Amino acid sequence: MADTPSLEAREHAHSPSRWARDADASLAHQAELGRTLREACPPQRLAYGDADHAWLHLHRPAGDGPWPLMIFLHGGYWQALDATATDFMATRWLARGWAFASLNYPLAPAVTLETLIEESTRGVRYLLAQQQALDLSGQVRLGGHSAGAHLALMSCLAAECPKAIEALWLISGVYDLRPLLGTSIARPLDLDESRARRLSPLCLPLTGLPPLALIHGEQDPAVFQQQGEALAAQAARDGVTATVTLMPGRDHFDILEHVGETLDPNRADTLDSDS
């Protein structure tokens, strides 16, 4: 039986910035792209609840709707960033005639991971309920990056959500929290074995989910790629369609500037996960 990796090894394996070319530069560039987009085409800021964190940016194409919608949740290991971090990603979706919602959520350690999931789900449900009022067509996809991919998937597992979401677009996601136990990453989440298992998609039945498009960078930490492959295999066992795409030369951070290349350029209404 293989030895259990040391705490130091697990810290390194789950620290994407140690594997990336320049995480800070990527985040700064993406923030600037987002600012430029918001100045040129101000999004609608909507509240999905009364709390300070309960807001989203809705970017809509020019012209008349109704439009299909991509809902996206940012990364940051459940502890950092906000919805403005992924505003820049709206550009490719807008060009294809889709609305794009950057969904904000609260952060640990101020709230528990259970609350993070509940609030993310609340935001998704708000958008689903408000589609007609927001001139949206009813065609909805849900996505996220890193911890945001975990939250998107957990939100879609909630009652009522799977039937309303036609596909999941999950980028460099975290799907098993158990290897994080004891690391500095898990400390603000106050995780124990029982909660880590209960809150890990890889420990839950996936039956009934919409198709999964799982995308990773070649320079993502190996554990992220492995968890994506494991999730695809579990999805197949549970009767859910899943595809896995590895983007050459991309790391955990700069992948967000290029992941739009996985969209089929000839069809605005599809995701091409085999490219």
pLDDT value, residue 257: 96
- Determine, yes or no, domain membership for 227: yes
- Determine, yes or no, domain membership for 268: no
The parent domain of residue 28 ranges over: 7-261
pLDDT digits (tens, 9 = 90+) for 208-260: 999 999 999 999 999 999 999 999 999 999 999 999 999 999 999 999 999 98
- Determine, yes or no, domain membership for 154: yes
Predicted structure pTM score: 0.94
- Residue 225 CA: distances (Å) to CA of 20, 64, 68: 14, 40, 29
The structure tokens listed for 78 are: 């459940």
- Determine, yes or no, domain membership for 1: no
* CATH number of the domain encompassing residue 104: 3.40.50.1820
Token pair 């969904």 is found at 103
The count of domains in the chain is: 1
- Determine, yes or no, domain membership for 275: no
The structure tokens listed for 15 are: 């620290």
- Determine, yes or no, domain membership for 75: yes
- Determine, yes or no, domain membership for 83: yes
- Determine, yes or no, domain membership for 269: no
pLDDT above 70 coverage of the chain, percent:
94
- Residue 169 CA: distances (Å) to CA of 3, 122, 194: 34, 19, 28
